Amino acid sequence: MAETHHFDVKNLFSVKDWICVVTGGGTGIGLMATQALAANGAKVYITGRRVEALENAAKHHNPEFSSGGSIIPLGPCDVRKKSDLEKIVTELREQRGEKHINLLVCNAGVAGPKAEPEEEDAEDLKKKLWENENVEDWQDTFETDVTSVYFTTVAFLPLLQASMEPKGPLERFTSSVITISSMSGLMRHAQGHFAYNTAKGATVHLSKLMSSEFLQTGIRVNSIAPGYFPSEMTVKSSDDRQKSHMPQEKIEEKGHVPAMRGGRDEEMGMLVLFLAKNSYVNGEIIAIDGGVLNVVSGR
């Protein structure tokens, strides 16, 4: 039975002394998750293909206050390669001396090819889609956005399970995986991104499958389905601090964002901490989209 002091925000959302791994942690949503975790006491290892981006993120965003948290670059790591994933796990265990991790955030992803299906004439529609997309781009999108999420999770299962410290006979599911899917995987509007939206739909279903099939390990799996958040994927660039800016006009021109703005970094951080700490949530896909899915058909 909880006393009032148990509801103090520090008790609810502190991840002090946690060990976390975030793929694609040097920019965008991965960096938002990393900042939220480090600001609340976690040691966060960030991975990615670009070592410079990882080091720059750690340089500019390590907590300058006494949270006890830290951001540590790890890599390079191409999550599409099982050998790279094994190398990261081995480095954590043998070089870094980590016996467990509490949280894995599978964030790395790509946007894939784009072709707007606007033509009414079927011949014109075929020509546009046929000439602006190819099988290799589709395969690359699936490999990064779906397949790598599966193998990244599998690679870290032993370290995740090793973090569990039962507090009682019924206390399980204290460690978890958060996959980053997308509202695009829940909607029927392709936005010109057939490959990306299809892949993110697969990421959504993969997250559900893993949450159920990995129950016996005591590891939770949930997914965040973001809307328009500032990242290199959405605005194509980042600044010298690895941060991206979402122009207001980019949201306004969409015409289907009830909140009439992009998502804030802190709002993403709130959801990451919620899913990390609430061990009674398992197998959920939580959209954080400013109300887009109330307007665009989908779920």
Delimit the domains of the chain by residue range. 4-294
The residues, ordered by sequence, that sit 6+ positions from 147 with a Cβ below 8 Å of its Cβ are: 80
> What pLDDT, on the 0 to 100 scale, is given for residue 176?
97
CA distance 25 to 29: 8
Q: Would the pLDDT of 172 be above 90? A: no
Q: Which of 200, 207, 223, 231 is catalytic?
A: 200
Q: Which of 45, 176, 184, 196 is catalytic?
A: 196
Q: Which residue has the tokens 């980590």?
A: 98
What stretches of the chain show up as alpha helix (H) in DSSP? 9-13, 28-39, 51-61, 82-90, 122-132, 135-142, 148-161, 194-213, 232-235, 248-254, 265-277
What is the separation of C-alpha 265 from the centre of its chain, rounded to a whole number of angstroms? 13
C-alpha closest to that of 47 among 3, 116, 108, 130: 108
Our answer to whether residue 196 is catalytic in this structure is: yes
pTM over 0.85? The answer is yes
pLDDT tens-digit series, residues 202-255: 999 999 999 999 999 999 999 999 999 998 888 877 888 888 988 999 999 999
The 3-state DSSP class for residue 175 equals: strand
Q: Would the pLDDT of 75 be above 90? A: no
Q: Which of 181, 184, 207, 238 is catalytic?
A: 181
Residue 105 or residue 190, greater confidence: 105
The residues, ordered by sequence, that sit 6+ positions from 267 with a Cβ below 8 Å of its Cβ are: 288
- The correct CATH number of 4-294 out of 1.10.10.10, 3.40.50.720, 3.60.10.10, 3.30.420.40 is 3.40.50.720
Phi, then psi, of 93 in degrees rounded to 5: -75, -50
> What pLDDT, on the 0 to 100 scale, is given for residue 166?
62
What is the separation of C-alpha 223 from the centre of its chain, rounded to a whole number of angstroms? 8
CA distance 123 to 30: 41
Our answer to whether residue 181 is catalytic in this structure is: yes
Our answer to whether residue 200 is catalytic in this structure is: yes
